[in-house]
Amino acid sequence: MLAKILIASLLKSVDDVRSFERFALSLVPDFQVFIIGSPSNFLPNLFEKITFIPLPFFPRTFFQRIQGVYFFAQKLFDLKPDILIIQSPDLLVVSVFYKLFFGKKLIYDIQENYFNNIFYQNYYTNWKKYLLAFGVRLLERLCSLFVDGFFLAEKSYEKELCFVEKKFFLVENKYALVKYGEHFCSPKSKEKLHFIYTGTVSAVYGTHRTIEFIKKLYAENQELRLTLIGCCLDQNYWDKLNKMVEGCSYIDWKISQEPVNHGLIMEEIQKANFGILGYLPNRSTENCVPSKIYEYMAYRLPILMPSNPFWESITAPYKASFRIDFEDFNPPKYLDEIQNFLFYETEPIPETVWKFDREGFKKIVLSLYSQSNPFK
């Protein structure tokens, strides 16, 4: 009988790109994989050894998150997986009890520095920010004593999260190729300007200033268009963006208030010829690599992004990116520059730059499963 792995998150969708495309597809057919997450309308049914277990609702409120934890606990003790991969701090306490009770392996997959997100992104104010930030960090520190290993999505987390000590593996959010149609590897034509913004929609990620940027370019060239596709969980910000795009027929609005299937995003990326990162300066994101950088590079999509030496260290060797100063730029000059800049002169980009290492990841999981202490 195959060993069972349960991958669980509260806020990520059950077919989230990291859980499903990177982790689950790398582990089958050697493991039986179960994924718990928020509901999705696009669940694939082509994988016999992958079972999707959607939460009965998207846990937006505090009480719904408590209900989500209860739902997770029920499924956890029913399935009794041999390896448990947790992607939400909310699920840590139940997971530690499960590990102590059954003696199974527990892995904490850290996709974000939650302390920094809460403390620096201004979603919470006053005492709530301090209570939540320090509360989450204390929870992570205490539960780390019982965790068998950590997956870190960013290199910077090794220094930022001292509680991981030496018990971690770096598992970056590189692009895990799944056949969503043809995989284009040639440089994009720039005769028609089709810009795209993908992924999380929020003020910190600068979706609003991406729209403002495109409006200024459109005043100079009425042939261009922008596709916005991603998920926005902030109702106020959603309303603000909706007002910003009113009457803008050149902006294709595909922003959802639920998680968007990654396959739909990749289909849109293949249609575009410029990808935009609108990030505002923020301590929570400055040392993190947006997964869209790897996705855009995989499809040789020219990237327009703000100045960030860390990101440029990845894109510059392949002439994959061009800087935007959102606060001070000349639209006619900028349009001319990006249309004449020779993106991706290097042929080809090594797959190791952008491609998720499925075999390497499988070896990591096998080492955690079969060894009492793989970090010796």
What pLDDT is recorded for position 41? 78
Tell which residue, 34, 12, 202, has the closest CA to residue 111: 12
Of 25-29, 48-52, 250-254, 327-331, minimum mean pLDDT range: 48-52
CA 262 to chain centre: 10
Full-model pTM: 0.93
Assign 339 to helix, strand or coil.
Answer: helix
Six token digits for residue 294: 């790897």
Question: In this model, does residue 29 exceed pLDDT 60?
Answer: yes
> How far is it, in rounded angstroms, from Cα 77 to Cα 96?
12
Give the pLDDT mean for 52-62.
90
| Residue 290 token pair | 């947006």
- Dig out the tokens for 197 from the structure: 């913004």
Residue 211 has pLDDT above 70, yes or no: yes
The answer to whether the CB of 76 falls within 8 A of the CB of 58 is no
Q: Is the C-alpha dihedral spanning 172, 177, 180, 181 positive or negative?
A: positive
Q: Say yes or no: domain 194-354 is CATH 3.40.50.2000.
A: yes
Residue 178, C-beta contacts closer than 8 angstroms, at least 6 positions apart: 21, 25, 263, 266
Residue 250 has pLDDT above 80, yes or no: yes
May I ask the CATH architecture of the domain 4-173+356-370? 3-Layer(aba) Sandwich (3.40)
Distance separating alpha carbons of residues 348 and 37, to the nearest angstrom? 37
pLDDT for 259 equals 87
**Nearest Cα to 273, choosing from 314, 304, 252?**
304
**Residue entry with tokens 């926005």:** 232
3-class SS at 42?
coil
Say which amino acid occupies 18: R
How far does the chain reach from its first CA to its final CA, in angstroms?
29
pLDDT at site 181: 44
Ordered DSSP codes for 119-175: HHS-SS-HHHHHHHHHHHHHHHHHHGGG-SEEEESSTTHHHH-GGGTT-EEE----B
Q: Which residue has the higher pLDDT, 52 or 43?
A: 52
- Is-cis flag, bond preceding 56, omega within 30? no
Give the other-Cβ count within 10 Å of 85's Cβ: 26
pLDDT score of 256 more than 80: yes
pLDDT for 374 beyond 90: no
Q: What letter represents residue 252's amino acid? A: D
- Per-residue model confidence as pLDDT tens digits over 220-249: 999 999 999 999 989 999 999 999 999 999
As annotated, the residues of the chain forming the CATH 3.40.50.2000 domain(s) are 4-173+356-370, 194-354
Angle at 208 between CA 206 and CA 214, to 5 degrees: 105
- Predicted pLDDT at 238: 94
The answer to whether residue 40 scores a pLDDT higher than 90 is: no
Q: Is 159 exposed, middle or buried (0-12, 13-18, 19+ CB in 10 A)?
A: exposed
> What average pLDDT does the chain have?
92
Bigger pLDDT: 169 vs 124: 169
- Lowest-confidence pick of 61-70, 90-99, 107-116, 182-191: 182-191
Q: What is the pLDDT of residue 188?
A: 55
Closest CA to 143 of 73, 86, 196: 86
Residue 123: which of 47, 197, 232, 17 has the closest Cα?
A: 232
